[in-house]
Amino acid sequence: MLYRTHQAFGLFSTSLVLINYTHTPILSVPGVLALGTTLVTSVMPDADEPGSVSAKSLFPIAMALEMLRVTHRGPTHSLTIAALWFWLAASGAHWYVTIGALQFSLYPVLLGAAAGYLSHIVIDFPNKEGEQLLWPLKGRFALYLIPADGIVNSILEVVFLFASFFVVLYGLALQYPAIALMFQIAHHTLSIIPRA
Ligand SMILES: [Zn+2]
């Protein structure tokens, strides 16, 4: 998948986690930090591909992976490493950051990072190149349906961007009555649109 398609799906996934699971307001320090972190972790696995946008922008990680001779879609695309992210998030469930009068939990940020990382592996799965999902086991898995770039990727990017925009807007409606009113009006017109 393309860089931006991964980021769009990462944003969509983390927005859902913030709204449905951690109940973190989107427009809050941990909410914005979680979405920002997701933009990084959702493309992090592709740092294992020399010359890719991810490898260039995350070059310290890319250099380390190259030194370790990590192959593309190997360990970085495994559920094992994704599980480590969720373990880190669970460990940080009671970590708080205090800056002056501001105090917030790191949990939504770490969980957002984990969701972003996992979202990369999930959306690479339909691709035509296998992922070493159960690393350190050697087997590679994929649905072998979609090329890693091309028109389907571009369509998915737009779909996921629209979906994340909708979910973020829904999250904002939970915070702001004026936006909630918009959802109520839209719901009366088209019942498939949820009430906020
Ligand atoms: Zn990938």
Distance 2 CA to ligand 1 centre (A): 8
pLDDT (0 to 100) of residue 104: 92
Taking the centre of ligand 1 as the mean of its atom positions, its distance from the CA of residue 62, in whole angstroms, is: 13
List, for residues 70-122, the tens digit of each pLDDT value: 999 999 999 999 999 999 999 988 999 998 888 999 999 999 999 999 999 99
Nearest to 92 by CA among 80, 76, 108, 77: 108
* Residue range 121-161, pLDDT digits in tens: 999 999 888 999 999 999 999 998 887 778 888 898 899 99
Q: Ligand 1 mean position to 46 CA, how many Å?
A: 5
Question: Is-contact 35 14, C-beta < 8 A?
Answer: yes
- d(CA 56, CA 101) in angstroms, rounded, equals 37
Cα(75) to ligand 1 centroid in Å equals 11
Per-residue pLDDT, 146 = 80
Q: What is the pTM of this model?
A: 0.91
Q: What is the pLDDT of residues 5-23, one digit of tens each?
A: 999 999 999 999 999 999 9
Tokens 């991810």 sit on residue: 54
**Contact of 126 with 150, CB cutoff 8 Å:** no
Query: Helix 79-91 vs helix 107-124: angle between axes, to the nearest 10 degrees?
Result: 170
**Farthest CA pair distance, the chain:** 58
**163: number of Cβ within 10 Å:** 17
CA 55 to ligand 1 centroid distance, Å: 11
Q: How far is the CA of 6 from the centre of ligand 1 (A)?
A: 8
How many A from CA of 52 to the centre of ligand 1? 10
Residue 3, token pair as written in the block: 């860089």
At 194 the pLDDT is 86
Total residues belonging to the chain: 196
Cβ proximity of 44 and 117 under 8 Å = yes
